[in-house]
Amino acid sequence: MTEYAVRAEAIRKRYGDTYALDGFDLAVRTGTVHGLLGPNGAGKTTAVRALATLLKLDGGRATVAGVDVSRDPRGVRSLIGLTGQYAAVDEILTGRQNLEMFGRLFHLGGRRAALRAGELLERFDLVEAADKGVGGYSGGMRRRLDLAASMILAPRVLFLDEPTTGLDPRGRGEVWDAVRSLVANGTTVLLTTQYLDEADKLASHITLIDQGRAIADDTPAELKNTVGGDLIEVVVYESRELPAAAQVLARVASAPPGTDPETRRVHAPVADRVAALTEVARELRDRGIAVEDIGLRRPSLDDVFLRLTGRRTEAAPAPEKTEVAA
């Protein structure tokens, strides 16, 4: 078995004047979940489609399980599964019928297709819903069926393009469980996402992509450390009190605080979460600074991105609170 299930070296893909991939590098260790994390338009889907041989490269070199994607695309296709950003299952059919149909598309023959469908329905916890129309499935059930469909031939490498976008927390959790069970069964997974917390939960390694290039490649813990720890965030009632609040935060922070006058928000990374929160709350009260909200949150993709590039991702998601004391 090759050490790297997926390797890309300086790959390029051009659309008109823009390079969607502009010298992108990637190395995915066999048997792991690798996260490809980046904002809208960063090049995630292009990378996945190129590695899955659905797009021709304009430069560079890539291999999947040691097989060159440009020289032997058929060879690569026999080793991989792909679940796209948009689901491919048929609404009219039941879950079981969908899987059997995919099995026959892959020339399994009726009996083997039915057997495989049964196994996959069990593995992805869809036995109860198996004979119901997919039109009535929840978002999480559909994504799991989509995952099952891409597993018909038990691929060595599975590409998942934003498998949980648009799902509620429960649906996301269900998909995460399904991905974990795939990896436990020996599949290597390359997963794209816009959420640091998702990559954090699933991936042992993350590549951050921006404008077609890898701008960071590390473990989730190390990526979060580039921000300098969890963040303490304070919303003051009056923006004129922001500088004073920033001073208070600076005393406990591991990096200079950032302020946003528009939202009356000041935030800074802290090493010791709870002690910092307690001290900041007391100090703000002692100085008579009126506070609308105070809390701790984990670094988001936007925080990591800002630290590495000096820019914000375009659609920064609302900060996710992990604890609130006010």
Ligand X SMILES: Nc1ncnc2c1ncn2[C@@H]1O[C@H](COP(=O)(O)OP(=O)(O)OP(=O)(O)O)[C@@H](O)[C@H]1O
Residues interacting with ligand X, by CB under 6 A?
15, 18, 20, 38, 40-46, 85, 194
DSSP letters along 144-202, please? HHHHHHHTTT--SEEEEESTTTT--HHHHHHHHHHHHHHHHTT-EEEEEES-HHHHHHH
Rounded to 10 degrees, the C-alpha dihedral 170/171/175/180 comes to 0
State the binding partner of 46 from Mg ion, ligand X, none, CB within 5 to 8 A by kind.
Answer: ligand X
- Name the strands in the sheet holding 33-37, side by side, starting at the edge strand that comes first in the sequence: 80-83, 157-161, 188-193, 33-37, 205-210, 213-218
State the binding partner of 164 from ligand X, Mg ion, none, CB within 5 to 8 A by kind.
Answer: none
State the binding partner of 42 from ligand X, Mg ion, none, CB within 5 to 8 A by kind.
Answer: ligand X
Nearest CB to ligand X, comparing residues 181 and 309: 309
Nearest CB to ligand X, comparing residues 113 and 196: 196
3-state secondary structure string across 34-49: EEEECCCCCCHHHHHH
Nearest CB to Mg ion, comparing residues 45 and 83: 45
Give the shortest CB-20-to-ligand X separation in angstroms: 3
Site string for Mg ion, 41-70 (x = CB under 5 A): ---xx-------------------------
Give the shortest CB-105-to-ligand X separation in angstroms: 25
Q: Distance (Å, rounded) from C-alpha 230 to C-alpha 193?
A: 21
Which pair of tokens denotes residue 313? 């991702």
Nearest CB to ligand X, comparing residues 43 and 229: 43
Contacts of 315 (CB under 8 A, 6+ apart): 39, 40
State the binding partner of 20 from Mg ion, ligand X, none, CB within 5 to 8 A by kind.
Answer: ligand X
State the binding partner of 23 from Mg ion, ligand X, none, CB within 5 to 8 A by kind.
Answer: none
User: First vs last Cα of the chain: how many Å apart?
Assistant: 54
Give the shortest CB-21-to-ligand X separation in angstroms: 8
**Binding to Mg ion, residues 195-224 (CB under 5 A):** none
Sites of contact with Mg ion (CB under 5 A): 44-45
